[in-house]
Amino acid sequence: MATRIKIKELESGGLKIKGLELTVGRVTEFDEWAEPMGPTPYPTLMDLRAWDLKLLERYPPFYSPLSDFCEFCTYGKCDLTAGKRGACGIDMAGHMGKWVLLQTVMGAAAHTTHAHHLLNFLIKQYGADHPIDLGSEVEIEAPITRLITGIRPKKLSDLLDVVNYLEGQITHLLSATATGQEQNYLDYESKALHAGMLDILALEVADIAQISALGFPKGDAETPFIEVGMGVVERNKPVILCIGHNVAPGSEVINYLDESGLYGKVEVAGVCCTASDLARLSKGAKIVGPISRQLRFIRMGIADVVIVDQECVRADVIEEAMRVGSRVIATSDQLVGGLPNYTNVDDDIVVSKLVSGEELAVVIQDPVKVGRVAVKAAQLIYPLRLNQKGYNRNEIVSKASACTLCLSCTKNCPIGINVGLAVNMAKRGDQSLLLEVFDECLGCARCDASCPEDIPVLSVIDAASEDKIKNERFKIRAGRGPIKDTEIRKVGRPIVMGEIPGVIAFAGCSNYPGGNIAVAKMADEFAKRNYIVVAAGCAALDIARYKDENGQTLYEKYPGAFDAGCIVNLGPCVSNAHAVGAVVKIASLFARRNLRGNFEEIADYILNRIGAVAIAWGAQHQKAMSIATGANRFGIPVILGPQGVKYRRAYLGRSEDYDRWLVYNAKDGRMVYVGPTPEHLLCVVETMEEAMVTAAKLVMRPNDTPKGRMIKLSNYISLHRQFYGTFPEDLHLFVRDENDLPITMKDEILTLIKQKGWKPTETPDPTLLSRMIFGGR
């Protein structure tokens, strides 16, 4: 957060000043770090605006309004259809920009709050001076933090400075959404890009803090295999289920079990990212699955105690858990759920109230206390609830008999599954379609809410699928966290030169059209083709929930290194930071670019040279939107599945627009055409096949060597032919000269592209930044 002083002209006494510009940076503790400070440490809302506007000029926002109205103030609601302005003067593009900013701020705020809560807890438990240590092979411990803030965190308390910065910026961004503040859609987008970047910084803070303090894996390729699936939780033991993203309470459950000699006598399981983190902490922790399993597992009544922390906790979980006799402990100020606060009440009293049922759900905001209370309560409640575990299959499925085939459930299914037909068939004795629906279902229960006959449709689907649920058992590698510097040194050159065709990162939630199988098949295809595949969050869990023809999950089939032909489970959502961090590290370790406070130069490097693409096939949450937008500011394109259209905004390029694809040649300052590489920054695709072919196209970069471009083109062409049955029509845009052409298809392609008027182009030293011409000299 630098302060700038400008004096155009001043004459006072004998002193004359003209054209003075002074920048006073943030005062930081002396550090022997030799790297010079870049131009934008702790950037504010305006510091990277010029970079954003360059991106937005090439990739203008494309809006799809989800509503015709603005409802933000008492002038409204205002109809903004087809060019109308609201009473405050805003038009639909501005309104859409505001929505986008709000969503990204929500995401960034959620991750920042998570990081802050976690950091406070870890400092309390392990001390402010606890070192940031990601292992001996990870010297660049915090590439995002170094890049954005200009500091090199050495101890947990150093990260508090970063969190304070994040909270300040997020407040400013939220403020800009108030009526009468920002009004231009491009500036809303610039601010959204800022929010997204902050989100990725928050992710890194949260994950490096917990990895350092809790002893999580530090970049090990061969982390232990963990069981995942609704069938992996043992029902003949007390069960504690943790839901959310903050591992603190769950980690204290495991600590207490260890200390009290009860480890192995109580099942500890989780849903969503807390589950991924527990699996990093303890091999014995079970992962029920991604968010699509949350309500389903709760309804099965297997959990004796449910601990909810923060983020991605369904709004009906507490009510649903209590309905099946599970006891609930809410642990975060972000989700108190209207429950009484027992944080300062004696353990025995809380346990007694929970066991007796006097209180079915309480708030305890002390993770250590949560650990003790949850274990004690689970042990005592377990024998009292034996008859509440699992479905009474026949009783529940028989509720389908009330179905009138009104199709209200079908109409309300977010992904258009014909649930109504399946339920009606079950009414007539045929449950086969229910079993098919089970595989695709998101587990959202909108069908339940819509049923005029009060059929618990989701429970009917699950009860009919009981055998499938019991057999739902897969294996996933525990999240490994950071990518090692040694790995980056090995793959940096082949990635930048294009010889490894690209890094494909799977991220996001489980809002899939057609089940999780698509995300697994895509990961399989890219790993087979020697891309580096990484995954985090629910996408990483969903990749595990698929077995190939040999009965192996993809994590068993492929190694877990950051290398060609491998599939890496980075960890939970916050571990998405390591995917971005890896490409930032390539710029540092391979290209020797300075990271410190040097965001724009590194983002320009990534956009022009590193073939990384993210696929968020089932993105659902505001956090996924925020992470995607952050990745975009770093120069990483993102592909969303069809439900991603409801984020209301894409960043689309136009391949035929010549001027958009001009870059500076840093060697001599000339503007050079480089083709649409990458063509889009954020786009929505409709099918898995389209996602794969698009990803193979979006990994192309202006800097690819002829060999690298040849490999990338080979994959693009091959996938295109495999899925679409034709050569790409836009091939001429990506061939710079004949050396780029795959040798086996050279003549055929040359003929094709010459018909399109193709002419050779040059390969520059590409940059969008005029200050980088002649190496910035």
Binding site for other proteins (CB under 8 A): 62-68, 79-83, 92-93, 408, 411-412, 414-416, 450, 513, 642-643, 645-646, 648, 650, 652, 654, 680, 683-690, 693-694, 723-726, 729
- The minimum distance between CB 513 and other proteins, in angstroms, equals 6
* Alpha carbons 302 and 435: distance in angstroms, whole number: 21
* Alpha carbons 597 and 159: distance in angstroms, whole number: 16
Residue number, 66 or 178, with CB nearest to other proteins: 66
Question: Other C-beta atoms within 10 Å of 231: how many?
Answer: 17
- The minimum distance between CB 101 and other proteins, in angstroms, equals 18
Whether the Cβ atoms of residue 330 and residue 336 lie closer than 8 Å to each other: yes
- The minimum distance between CB 406 and other proteins, in angstroms, equals 12
Classify residue 261 by its DSSP letter: T
- The minimum distance between CB 336 and other proteins, in angstroms, equals 28
Residue number, 93 or 329, with CB nearest to other proteins: 93
> Of 518, 548, 552, which is closest to residue 225 (Cα–Cα)?
552
SS3 sequence, 219-246? CCCCCCEEEECCCCCCCCCCEEEEECCC
- The minimum distance between CB 621 and other proteins, in angstroms, equals 17
Beta-bridge partners for 328:
306, 361
* Alpha carbons 453 and 434: distance in angstroms, whole number: 18
- The minimum distance between CB 465 and other proteins, in angstroms, equals 21
- The minimum distance between CB 63 and other proteins, in angstroms, equals 7
The dihedral built from the CA positions of residue 207, 128, 30 and 40, taken in this order, carries a sign that is positive
The two most distant CA atoms of the chain are separated, in Å, by 100
Residue number, 422 or 688, with CB nearest to other proteins: 688
Helix residue ranges per DSSP H, 269-314? 273-281, 294-299
- The minimum distance between CB 606 and other proteins, in angstroms, equals 23
Task: State which H helix or E strand residue 767 sits in.
Answer: strand 766-767
* Alpha carbons 142 and 471: distance in angstroms, whole number: 40
Total residues found in the chain within this entry:
777
Burial 482-499 (b: 16+ CB within 10 A, else e): bbbbebbebbbebbbbbb
Whether the Cβ atoms of residue 161 and residue 205 lie closer than 8 Å to each other: no
Backbone angles phi, psi at 759, to 5 degrees: -135, 145
Q: Is 63 helix (H, G, I), strand (E, B) or coil?
A: strand
- The minimum distance between CB 534 and other proteins, in angstroms, equals 24
* Alpha carbons 696 and 724: distance in angstroms, whole number: 14
- The minimum distance between CB 607 and other proteins, in angstroms, equals 20
- The minimum distance between CB 644 and other proteins, in angstroms, equals 9
Hey, what are 722's tokens?
């495999």
Hey, what are 512's tokens?
């899939």
Task: State which H helix or E strand residue 101 sits in.
Answer: helix 92-126
Hey, what are 435's tokens?
């079993």
Task: State which H helix or E strand residue 122 sits in.
Answer: helix 92-126
